[in-house]
Chains A and B, each alone.
Chain A
Amino acid sequence: MITLNHYLLVAGVLFAIGLAGVVARRNILTIFMCLEMMLSAANLTLVAFTRFHTPVGVPDYSAQSLVFFTITVAAAEVAVGLAIIVALFRARQSVSVESVTKLQG
């Protein structure tokens, strides 16, 4: 049977895949997408915990509220982030992460 640990494990592996993608890929957009994946994994963890913790017979909705807010904020962040990427593209004519080295030093 499916226990809480199964869901947590799935979330964990998803997060790991996202982490690998952020470090390994060169295209900024792909990196961004992997970032979203990591966020979703966290959401899955939270939802799993709401379901398995039922103080009054129904799932605990506080964590689900958190998931709600997370999704919202993630959407806003994606919008702004993509706007930045567009501006970056205009400046550098490339979306490779190697071309952004202003943080050096």
Chain B
Amino acid sequence: MNQQSAVTLILLLPLFAAFSILVLKRFVGDFVCKTISVASAFICFVTSCILLGAEPVTGTILTFIDVPGLSADIGFILDQQSAGMMFIVTFIGLLVHVYSLGYMSEDESQSRFFGSLSMFMFSMTGIVLADNLLMMFVFWELVGLSSYLLIGHWFEKPSAAEAAKKAFLTNRIGDFGFMIGILTLFAASNGEISFAALKESLSAGSTSGPLHDAPAWVMTLAALGLFMGAVGKSAQVPLHVWLPDAMEGPTPVSALIHAATMVAAGVYMLVRVSFILVESELAMQIIAGIGGFTALFAALMAVQQNDIKRILAYSTLSQLGYMVMAVGLGAGEAGMFHLYTHAFFKALLFLGAGAVIYACHHEQDIWKMGGLRKQTPATFLTFAIGTLALMGLPGMSGFFSKEEILGAAHHECSWLFWSSAFTALLTSFYMTRCVVVAFFGKARTEHASHAHEAPMIMVAPLLLLSIFAIFSGYGFFSGRLQAMVPHADHGEGHTFVMAVSIAAVVIGAGLGFFLYNGKDKDPLNIKLFANKFYIDEIYAFIVKVFQDGLAWLVTGLESIFVDGLVARLPAAIACRVGKTARAMQSGQLQGYTFALGLGLLLAIYLVSQVLPRH
């Protein structure tokens, strides 16, 4: 089949699956629904493999809007970036589908879960394939919706419902900025929103368009607006608060959405619009700064977390910070490369954590585990591989991608380089802590001592992913599969960067091992990190202040206008008029006579003064 229909299939098949699950849910059983969902994921994966390495092409699936002044359609771009990303999304998506067959086997509403998963696949595919900003925005929102459905899958638990709401609202704030960016570009380029048209509008030369002549502040505004969308979706500071709470969702969800695909959408979008971002020096600096800061911030918070999924969540935040920083430093390809490798080993870690939780009967606190090295060897092995990849051990995929980013930082901005190096040290420190406490030593509880290996259907994806975690950084894998071809030149100081990163890994790991081996409770007790720097409390306070202020204002306005003007004023008028009218019917003779006299005076006035004038 030709490429247009292949792309249409990838995009619409999950939507069809989700719809049919929605409709058929009450008629057929869980088994049929699960089959539909997994089958659609498999078909999409196969199709995207076929599409790898194809010629870059764009096309239109459906004309969405076609009015004078705005022309947007549901189209697609199929180039190296989107094909590679497609591969990651469908591959990890398929693995998560298979894994969930095992993990969610005892859940009550599996059909709903798989339906939401298919919905998510549809939305994410839309973002990857989008060829204009409007389409990307539409699917951006759909991804937010799918994330809400999935995080809040166990919505009877209040904390899960709260977390889903928090995720959606925080994303909305970012999306507001995204919208402003899109509108700025729309206005500045006289009505263009597709990537190709914007690029053309921006280019210098004989065909330069209005965007080329736009003033600097317009480009900065557009760039920052677009970046806001990434801040929300990829959970950068200050909109990072939703990601740790999103761990309330089932672990496969965390693996798919919050490790590999959805949060990476922000980085993907930034790389897509990087031709706009580079126009504004200020915006690039801000992006790099926020990225670097998020990386450090999240790593500090991760040092004191006790829930295994929270640790992984903060580590995701930290790595996302690296990717965003890379984009801000002008090394977007390095950011995409890290996204690519990170997807594999982070998904591996999450699924492994899921296996651990499953083994310990849904226990998530690492201080209640222990000795799992002997109880669940396969899980331990894959988890360790994932950890080493994340830490950036030389030879693992993570090493290559992280080194790219550090190299770019060293090249561009010195203090970002040192903060990133320190973050790498912290990363290896807290990951070592996690592994040592959970897997080494003696079992600390009953559940941990009775832990057993997860079923094969859950372990197989782990094994598959660990292969990718090791080898995805190498040349023979990259090129075809990879999302971006990294630049081969590393500039000067290449050796220095490598030395620093290796040193960071070794020091951090050694420190972690030394502090935590054989301990039963945490020797470090840093409240600030453990309480996430109290950011949630600050936000709650700010929201409360604004809400109270707004309520006060509205109450005031209501009591003056609605109450007073509309309700009480007519009532008062009616009362007064009634009283006056009643006085005329008093029954008092003198009153009547007085009225008679008044009428007489009025008549005389009219006859003598008014009439003669005419």
Contacts and interface: CB of A to CB of B under 8 A. Distances in A.
Interface of A: 19, 22-24, 26, 31, 97-98, 100-105
Contacts of B585: 104-105
Contact of A101 (B587, B594, B597): B587
Interface in B516-550: none
Q: Is the interface of B mostly helix, strand, loop or mixed?
A: helix
Nearest to B594: A23
Contacts of A97: 588-590
A100 B589 contact: yes
A19 B597 contact: yes
Contacts of A100: 589
A23 B590 contact: yes
A98 B593 contact: no
Contact size range, B: 10 to 19
B588 A101 contact: yes
27 contacts: A19-B597, A22-B590, A22-B593, A23-B590, A23-B593, A23-B594, A23-B597, A24-B590, A26-B590, A31-B589, A97-B588, A97-B589, A97-B590, A98-B588, A100-B589, A101-B586, A101-B587, A101-B588, A102-B587, A103-B587, A103-B589, A103-B592, A104-B585, A104-B586, A104-B587, A105-B585, A105-B587
Nearest to A101: B587
Interface of B: 585-590, 592-594, 597
A52 to B, nearest CB: 20
A30 B588 CA distance: 16
A101 B588 CA distance: 6
Given A98-B588, A103-B589, A105-B585, 20 more contacts: A19-B597, A22-B590, A22-B593, A23-B590, A23-B593, A23-B594, A23-B597, A24-B590, A31-B589, A97-B589, A97-B590, A100-B589, A101-B587, A101-B588, A102-B587, A103-B587, A104-B585, A104-B586, A104-B587, A105-B587
Contacts of B586: 101, 104
A78 B588 CA distance: 22
A31 B594 CA distance: 13
Contacts of A98: 588
A5 to B, nearest CB: 14
Looking at A19, A23, A100, the one whose CB has the most chain B CB atoms below 10 A away is A23
Nearest to A15: B600
A104 B585 CA distance: 6
B591 to A, nearest CB: 9
A101 B592 CA distance: 11
